[in-house]
Amino acid sequence: MTTKIIDLNYRIRLETSDGDMVISISELDPKLFTDRDWQALHNAIRHYIDRVECDICGGDIAPELTPEGQVYWTQGHDAHPVVDGRSCETCHTTKVLPARLS
């Protein structure tokens, strides 16, 4: 199941094999979800609230997760020498590293 936060009114979009549905978190039945599902939901909410933008492309920087699904880093990569700021994984790989190696 993929979880995407829609807004801070605690509405979420759940992408399931049966299609997408938009629901309020208060409507969720805890018995329908595993601990891993709840952790994914928690991480999605935290990422939505604490999201960091890439200073190169403007996209969201994805948080780094432990194998257990815990967020341990949210700041992406140092974007120097391309810009003074942070970069997402894609920009780090395709723009920052080549600039550093040239």
Question: In 17-92, where do the E strands start and end?
Answer: 19-24, 52-53, 60-61, 64-65, 71-73, 77-78, 86-87
Dihedral, 4, 5, 11, 13 alpha carbons, nearest 10: -10
Q: How much is the average pLDDT of 91-101?
A: 97
- Spell out the domain ranges in the chain: 1-50, 53-102
The overall pTM is greater than 0.75: no
Residues linked to residue 36 through DSSP beta bridges, in sequence order: none
Summarize pLDDT for 5-33 with one digit per residue, the tens: 554 455 666 666 666 666 666 666 767 77
Radius of gyration of the chain (CA): 17
Q: Which tens digit of pLDDT belongs to each residue from 30-57?
A: 677 777 777 777 777 666 666 789 999 9
